[in-house]
Chains A and B, each alone.
Chain A
Amino acid sequence: MSLTGTAVSTGEITPRLGYAATLLIAALWMVPFLWMLVAAFNPDSTGAGMASLVPSYLPTLANFREAWASADFPRYGLNTTIISLGILAVQIVTITLAGYAFARLEFPGRALCFYLFLLQLMLAPVALIIPNLKTIASLGLYDTLLGIMAPYFASAFGTFLMRQAFKAVPRELEDAALIDGASVRQRIVHIYLPLARPSLIAFSIISLTSHWNEFLWPLMVINSPDLRPLTVGLAAFTRGAEGAQAWGVIAAGTLMVSAPLLIAFALFQRAFVNSFVSSGIK
């Protein structure tokens, strides 16, 4: 779904005034980011001039150094990376298998299974954090990274996405592979997955961003400071720095936590936009 080359390029839907207002709001929308940048490089982290949006100083990295020293951001970053990539890796296996079953196999109980999967979309996992915490604890996964990951290993959204992609694969391709004696595993790996690449990428982006940014569930599962992901680490760090009124340091820490996804977006803008459009309900 490309956002370019539109049918409504007559320029008539929005009057000039609406366009001007939008640009004005866009400027307003950027103020929090602008402040974060200006404050992060401000040598004076706590002074009264912190509210200025126009830098009037020699930029320094002092705030970053202090943020780096007062919270273990590299460790948090590593934890977040392990969590998001770990979830994605397992999800790709589960959604591929289930997606193939729904796309290509006829079996009794299929409709029931479909609704069983649909239930996960309807009951957002985050609403079930309290009972899930109990389950995680009784599985001995409390205060482990695996405990954060486990509830996300199955994905109805991903399964349905893969099902759609697999259904679009011509049956003749699979038949040809069947003649050559390819097993189900070989057919999925060599025919279906390569052809479902766009859907896989879309799903990966959605999965990675949502778990990279997740806060409440890891906050509940993790107790040890060195297992914190970035979001939980940032919240704890902000609480500490807020007491010290170290706004520049907070800005620097926030910038470090937000930067990876912002950079990824800058590099792969189109892929991000397309996958978010397909994400609707995840």
Chain B
Amino acid sequence: MAQAVFTAGKTREWSAPRWRPRQATLLAFALLAPSLLFLALFTYWPVLQVLWQSVHGQLRVGGPQAYVGPLNFIKLFADPAFRKALGNNLIYALGTVIPSLVLALGFAMALVRSSRVNALFRALFFLPVLIPLVAAASIFLFLFLPNVGLLDYHLAKLAISGTNWLGDPDIALGSIMVLTIWKNAGYYMLFFLAGLQAVPADAYEAAILDGAGPWQRLRYVTLPYLKPTIGFVLVIGLLNVVTQVDHVFVLTKGGPSDSTNLLLFYVYQQAVENYDAGRAAAGTLVMLALLLAVTASSLRTLERSFGERET
């Protein structure tokens, strides 16, 4: 069908309007069809499916699916493991996004001048971004190993006694967060490096003439110029916090006692380990709501950067 539309325009005059409206519409939908087909299958259909599933369930084991109203959500929020995962995800978000953002800004400001040395250090910070999260977790498994692991071994040399980094419920989430910060800071640094290009040199010169110190220059020159970049990185960071849990699989599997359980991992557990489709669907919807909330805040930016609003 696409082929027919492709060749249909051949005999037509080329001058503007390029396409007769009906023809343009046919061609456009023929061109969009492959994408729309896959979007329908793997984006719209699954959303409809979780919406339906979230209000349906089996009233008895092995029974047929019946409408259960908000029961799945009530059970979901009554589940201490879910509440724990939600809370953890919040702590995880604050504890990874803000430090990575600050570090990334610091790295970018220190390394913005182009020199061979700086290029090398920028590359070093970027390396963790390139390896799979699973691979990073495999390395950190030994880093966090009690007693003989990298961290404890070197702490012992300083006469500091280590701890069970991944086994202690009070510390495990913090350890996971260290890995996340290490993995992502270099990625965010790229955006700040690009953002710093937009700060005019005159602005700094003027600030220096006015006697502004480094902190004042940061506060009144750099940060205002970087505002859009900061917002952008914040959105990406928050998306990552919801969608990336590979390291939890390798390092802790959500334990000990759910102290490192995150939303996506919880949903996975409900679906794959507990076969509770209703609760998994309800959990998925909570996750989708969070994602929408994060991206909706940047919808204007998205529209502008992808340009449907530019004309």
A residues with CB within 8 A of B: 1, 3-15, 18-19, 21-23, 25-26, 29-33, 35-36, 39, 48, 50-53, 93-95, 97-98, 100-101, 104-108, 110-111, 113-114, 116-135, 150-151, 153-156, 159-160, 163-164, 167, 175, 178-179, 181, 183-185, 209, 212-216, 219-220, 230-232, 234-235, 238-239, 242, 247, 250-251, 253-254, 257-258, 261-262, 265, 269, 272-273, 276-277, 280-281
Tell whether A235 pairs with B134 under 8 Å between CB atoms, given A117-B39, A126-B243, A281-B235: yes
B103 touching A25, Cβ below 8 Å: yes
Task: Enumerate B207-262 residues with CB–CB distance to A below 8 Å.
Answer: 208, 214, 217-218, 222, 232, 235-236, 239, 242-246, 249-250
Chain B contact residues, majority secondary structure: helix
B 114-132 to A, binary, CB cutoff 8 A, 1 in contact else 0: 1000010111111111111
A94 touching B306, Cβ below 8 Å: no
- Contacts A6-B114, A32-B140, A124-B243 aside, 20 further interface pairs with beta carbons under 8 A come to A4-B114, A10-B201, A12-B208, A21-B110, A105-B19, A120-B43, A130-B284, A150-B42, A151-B42, A154-B42, A160-B306, A164-B306, A167-B307, A184-B5, A216-B245, A220-B268, A238-B250, A253-B138, A257-B131, A281-B302
Select one of B46, B134, B243, B245 contacting A135, CB under 8 A: B46
Cα–Cα, bound, A181→B47 (Å): 44
A32 touching B139, Cβ below 8 Å: yes
Question: Interface size on B (CB < 8 Å)?
Answer: 125
A185 touching B6, Cβ below 8 Å: yes
A101 touching B27, Cβ below 8 Å: yes
Select one of B53, B107, B149, B295 contacting A51, CB under 8 A: B149
Tell me how many residue pairs across A and B have CB atoms closer than 8 Å: 350
Select one of B18, B24, B37, B134 contacting A215, CB under 8 A: B134
B43 touching A105, Cβ below 8 Å: no
B97 contacts chain A at the CB level, 8 A cutoff: no
5 contacts between A and B (CB under 8 A): A111-B308, A215-B132, A220-B272, A257-B132, A262-B131
Closest A-B pairs by Cβ, 7 of them: A51-B153, A131-B46, A154-B38, A22-B110, A178-B14, A213-B132, A160-B306
